[in-house]
C-alpha cells in the first residue's frame, strides 16, 4: 500500500460548521478577558472594511496572500507541501527591488520588468526545492524550509549591507524606491495593477486545475504517484512544473509587497503570507475558486484585529488565534466526516 497524503474533503455545510465552531471558540476567549465578543467582531468588521481607506488597505493585503495561495493550490494538488513559499516570496521581492533600484526607464517599463523579475526569481527558488526533491530526494518540506532561511538571510544581508540606507544601516529597510518604480495607486494605497495580477492568478489557476490536461495530470500525480507513473505520466516533470508555478506566483506576491505596498525592501518583506497561505489553501480544500473569499476573510481578520488592541485593549494576536482556530476546527470537522463516512461504509458492507 502506498501512503497517501491526507486530503481534506468537505461536504457542503461543513465549512459553515467549522466557521461557527471557530467563532464560538474565539467568542469564549474574548469573553474570558471581560470584553464583549459582539463588540469585538463589530470592530473587526469596522477595522477591515468599515471605510474606503480601510477597504483599500485590506485589498492590498489580500493581493499577496491571494497570489501565494493560488500558487500553493497548484503545489498542494501535486502532493507537494511547498513550505518554501516564504522564501519564494522573499526572492521575488529581492528581484523586484533590484529592478526598482537599478532600472531607470519610466514607470510602465520598470513595473513590467519588476513583475517579470519577481516571477522568474520566485520560480527559480521554487524549482530549486523541486530539483532537490525530485533528483536528490530531499523532502520538499525540509528543502523548502532551508531555502526559506537562505532567502531571509539574503534579504537581511542586503538591507544592512549593500543596499543599506544612505548614511546608516538599519533593519528598518532600504531607502524608499524612486517614485517611478511604485505601482500607481488610486487614492493613497490601492494599486489596481496589483488587484488585477491577483485576479488573473486565481482565474488562471482555476482554469488550469479545472479545464486542462496539465491540471488533471497534476492532480493524478498528487493523489497517487505510482499509479500516475504506470499510467504513463512523467511524474517528475509535473512535480517540477508545479513547484515552478507555485514559486512564480509567490514571486509575484513578493513583487507586489516590494513595489506596490512597502515601496522599499524590508527584512520582513514576506509578511508571513506564505505560511498564512498554507492555512488558506487547507481551508479551501485545494480549490482555487475558494481561495479568493477565504483569503479575503483571513485578511479581514488580520487587518481588523489591530482595532481590537486600540479599542478593547485586547492583544492584536487575537486575529492569529481566530485564523488558527478556523483551520483547526475545519480539520476536525473534516476528519470527523471522514470517520463517519468510513463507519457508514463499513456498516453497509456487512
Partner 1 sequence: MSLELRDIRKYFGEVRANDGVSIRVERGELHGLLGENGAGKSTLMKILSGFIEADSGEVVVDDQVIAMKSPRDAIAAGIGMLHQDPLVFLPFSVLENFVLGNPRADRDQARSELLRLGESFGFAFEPEAPVRTLTVGERQQLEIVRLLWLGAKVLILDEPTTGISATQQALLFEALRTLAGQGMIVIFVSHKLEEVEALCDRVTVMRRGRAVGDVPLPAPIDRLVEMMFGRAVKVAERDHRGLGDVAIELARLCVDDRLVSLRDLDLLVHRGEVIGLAGLEGSGQRTLLRSCAGLLAPRSGRLEAGGADLAGHPYHEHREAGIHYLPAGRLEEGLIRGVTVAEHFLLAGERKGPIIDWDSAHDEARRRIEEHSIVGTTDSPAESLSGGNQQRLLLAMMPAGVDVLLMEHPTRGLDIASADWVWSRLLERVEQGTAIIFSSADLDELLRYSDRIIVFFAGRVIAVLDAADTDAVRLAHLIGGKDLG
Interacting residues toward partner 1 by CB under 8 A: 1-2, 4, 7, 9, 211-214, 216-217, 219-220, 223-224, 226-234, 349-350
The smaller minimum CB distance to partner 1, of residues 167 and 232, is found at 232
Residues 284/294, Cβ–Cβ less than 8 Å: yes
Give the C-alpha distances (Å, rounded to integers) separating 264 from 97, 222, 294, 296: 7, 38, 28, 24
What residues form DSSP beta bridges with 190? Answer: 186
Please give the angle made by the CA atoms of 45, 56 and 155, to the nearest 5 degrees. Answer: 105
Closest C-alpha among 85, 44, 30, 118 to residue 308: 44
Cβ 61 to partner 1 shortest distance, Å: 33
Cβ 229 to partner 1 shortest distance, Å: 7
Cβ 212 to partner 1 shortest distance, Å: 5
Cβ 211 to partner 1 shortest distance, Å: 6
Record the cell numbers describing residue 119, joined without a space: 516571477
Interior/surface letters 247-283, b for 16+ CB within 10 angstroms, e for the rest: bbbbbbbbbbbbbbbbbbbbbebbbebbebbbbbbbb
The smaller minimum CB distance to partner 1, of residues 1 and 136, is found at 1
The smaller minimum CB distance to partner 1, of residues 194 and 220, is found at 220
Residue 46: exposure state from Cβ atoms within 10 A (0-12, 13-18, ≥19): middle
Cβ 74 to partner 1 shortest distance, Å: 15
Cβ 203 to partner 1 shortest distance, Å: 15
Instruction: Report d(CA 64, CA 301) in Å as an integer.
Output: 15
Record the cell numbers describing residue 153, joined without a space: 538571510
Give the C-alpha distances (Å, rounded to integers) separating 36 from 32, 45, 253, 304: 9, 15, 36, 16
The smaller minimum CB distance to partner 1, of residues 197 and 208, is found at 208
The smaller minimum CB distance to partner 1, of residues 136 and 347, is found at 347
The smaller minimum CB distance to partner 1, of residues 164 and 219, is found at 219
The smaller minimum CB distance to partner 1, of residues 135 and 157, is found at 135
Cβ 345 to partner 1 shortest distance, Å: 8
Amino acid at each position: 500500500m502506498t501512503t497517501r497524503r491526507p486530503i481534506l474533503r468537505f461536504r457542503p455545510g461543513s465549512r459553515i460548521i467549522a466557521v461557527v465552531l471557530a467563532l464560538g471558540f474565539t467568542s469564549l476567549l474574548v469573553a474570558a478577558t471581560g470584553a464583549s465578543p459582539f463588540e469585538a467582531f463589530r470592530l473587526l468588521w469596522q477595522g477591515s472594511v468599515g471605510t474606503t481607506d480601510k477597504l483599500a488597505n485590506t485589498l492590498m493585503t489580500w493581493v499577496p496572500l491571494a497570489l501565494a495561495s493560488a500558487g500553493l493550490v497548484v503545489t498542494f494538488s501535486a502532493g507537494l507541501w511547498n513550505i518554501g513559499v516564504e522564501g519564494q516570496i522573499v526572492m521575488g521581492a529581492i528581484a523586484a527591488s533590484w529592478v526598482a533600484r537599478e532600472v531607470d526607464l519610466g514607470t510602465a517599463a520598470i513595473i513590467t520588468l519588476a513583475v517579470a523579475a519577481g516571477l522568474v526569481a520566485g520560480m527559480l527558488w521554487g524549482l530549486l526545492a523541486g530539483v532537490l526533491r525530485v533528483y536528490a530526494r530531499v523532502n520538499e518540506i525540509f528543502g523548502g524550509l532551508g531555502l526559506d532561511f537562505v532567502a531571509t538571510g539574503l534579504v537581511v544581508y542586503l538591507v544592512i549591507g549593500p543596499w543599506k540606507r544612505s548614511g546608516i544601516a538599519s533593519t528598518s529597510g532600504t531607502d524608499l524606491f524612486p517614485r517611478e518604480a511604485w505601482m500607481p495607486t488610486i487614492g493613497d494605497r490601492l494599486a489596481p495593477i496589483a488587484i488585477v495580477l491577483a485576479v488573473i492568478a486565481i482565474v488562471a489557476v482555476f482554469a488550469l486545475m479545472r479545464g486542462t490536461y496539465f491540471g488533471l495530470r497534476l492532480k493524478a500525480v498528487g493523489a497517487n504517484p505510482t499509479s500516475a507513473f504506470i499510467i504513463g505520466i512523467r511524474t517528475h516533470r509535473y512535480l517540477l512544473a508545479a513547484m515552478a508555478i507555485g514559486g512564480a506566483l509567490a514571486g509575484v506576491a513578493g513583487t507586489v509587497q516590494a513595489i506596490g505596498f512597502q515601496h522599499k525592501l524590508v527584512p520582513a518583506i514576506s509578511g508571513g503570507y506564505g505560511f498564512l497561505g498554507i492555512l488558506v489553501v487547507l481551508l479551501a480544500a485545494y480549490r482555487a475558486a475558494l481561495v479568493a473569499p477565504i483569503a479575503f476573510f483571513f485578511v479581514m481578520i488580520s487587518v481588523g484585529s489591530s482595532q481590537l488592541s486600540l479599542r478593547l485593549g485586547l492583544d492584536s494576536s487575537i486575529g492569529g488565534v481566530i485564523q488558527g482556530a478556523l483551520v483547526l476546527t475545519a480539520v476536525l470537522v473534516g476528519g470527523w466526516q471522514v470517520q463517519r463516512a468510513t463507519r457508514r461504509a463499513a456498516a453497509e458492507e456487512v
